[in-house]
Amino acid sequence: MVSALRASIKKTGSPFLRSAVSARLLSTASKQPTLKERLAELIPVAQEKVKAARHEHGKKSFGPVIVDQLYGGMRGLPALIGKARSWTRVSLHIIIVAFASDGFGDVEEGIRFRGKTIPEIQGQLPKAPGGSEPLPEGLFWLLVTGEIPTYEQVADLSKDWAARAAIPEFVEEVLDRCPPTLHPMSQFSLAVTALNHNSAFAKAYAEGVSKKEYWGPTFEDSMDLIAKLPNIAGRIYRNVYGRGKLPPIDAQKDYSHNLAALLGFGDNPAFVELMRLYITIHSDHEGGNTLPSYAAALNGLAGPLHGLANQEVLVWLTKMQAKIGEDASDEAVKEYVWSTLKGGQVVPGYGHAVLRKTDPRYVAQREFALKHLPNDKLFKLVGQIYNIVPGILLEAGKAKNPWPNVDAHSGALLTYYGLTEMQYYTVLFGVSRAFGVTAQLIWDRALGAPLERPKSYSTDAINKIFKGKN
């Protein structure tokens, strides 16, 4: 092992790789590598595999494109490597390292993280002492390396993030000056954008860092970003909803526990467990330049067409309860669902752009609810709808996938524990999805992934191309 590491040092001229690998050599035999040290070992191997794959297969055709895919948001189109929400790259291993983010290896098979299903990661990732849900720190390690970490490695990552958690004073002032009427997600994006002031990548780029070394400062920015998000999210929550001053970050606690405490729920062990599960199953997106691109992604989550899905579900559920009662019969629920469809509306929380089965993230939340809040009225309604809505949607012909997605359940869980401010829910999305974004970005920079510039066509151009053709 030592000789291999020495060869790795000799082989690369990168100071980021040299420092990480040298640190590995200096560590004792019993000490396990840090996340950055392990990356330094994995990246050269991945670079060679990509180089070999391009050399052997670079000129081969990869798949047909039909016009419906162009109009349908490129769903199912095999057009990208290691970018976007890569449901192909994780489970199908297009690049041998796989990558971060959620992987829909098959529309029927469901979501996988680095080839592992949600039940698998729940069983295999380290847990807090006495806890039953996976620690998001472990998921991040898995996303970045493709490996299941030890508890020691996860605990060290928790401490590292706690040490990086403080946000600059000027960012605190920016948030404190925001009016409470400014949407929490807009404040969240504003704060993340401001963090770019101290970007390690921006500094290294200005100093002329080599492309081969981009991954190093990107890693540092990613670690800083994830670490600071709980303080940002907590400050926004307390400012907007008048919940008082923030408590300090506890370096002895894990990431989710600190987030729960900053929101004012740290004394509730079940809510802490919910945050561990929530962050783990929602960490599924990707971006470009770490801080500005992540802020842009947050803006994409802030509107009603995408980011407010679980809020819409909760509004629909509460309206239903108000009209037909908390303990309504199946027939009353069916009638309400049909009235929703006949009124030209959709049943929120049902259907998925890719999956053709029940979202496994929904299943994970349902199992959590069965364990922690089996008699809650709202949860019972969610379960009742789960048994009723798919049949109605199939009968109505309204959906290719009549099954619930992740948003059909999360609002009911947060409401049960007292986090009832629905406009804030997308901020929790944002905290969670930093894990997938940053894990992917590190590998983008390590492998020199370019910006995508696909060619686009107008409808007139499509008609011209196919004129006179069957």
Maximum distance among all alpha carbons in the chain? 72
CB atoms closer than 10 angstroms to residue 296: 15
106 pairs with which residues across the strands? 110
| Annotated catalytic residue, options 221, 224, 254, 407 | 407
3-class state of residue 102 by DSSP: strand
Q: How far is residue 399 from each of residues 65, 238, 287, 396, measured CA to CA in Å?
A: 23, 40, 30, 8
- Active-site hit among 257, 282, 285, 352: 352
Half-sphere exposure of 440 (CA within 13 A, CB side): 30
Q: Is 254 a catalytic residue?
A: no
Catalytic residue among 250, 306, 327, 330: 306
Q: Residue count of the chain, please give it.
A: 470
Q: Is 183 a catalytic residue?
A: no
Residue 53's Cβ-count burial label (10 Å; 0-12, 13-18, 19+) is: middle
**CA angle in degrees (0–180, nearest 5) for 376-380-385:** 150
Residue 250's SS3 state is coil
Contact residues for 424 (Cβ-Cβ < 8 A; gap 6+)? 184, 236, 237, 240, 241
Report how far residue 440's alpha carbon sits from residue 204's, in angstroms, rounded to the nearest whole number. 20
What is the separation, in whole angstroms, between the first and last Cα of the chain? 61
Examine the residue annotation and report whether 282 is marked as an active-site residue of this protein. no
* Other beta carbons less than 10 A from residue 166's beta carbon: 14
The token duo for 23 is: 């640190």
- Positions marked catalytic: 306, 352, 407
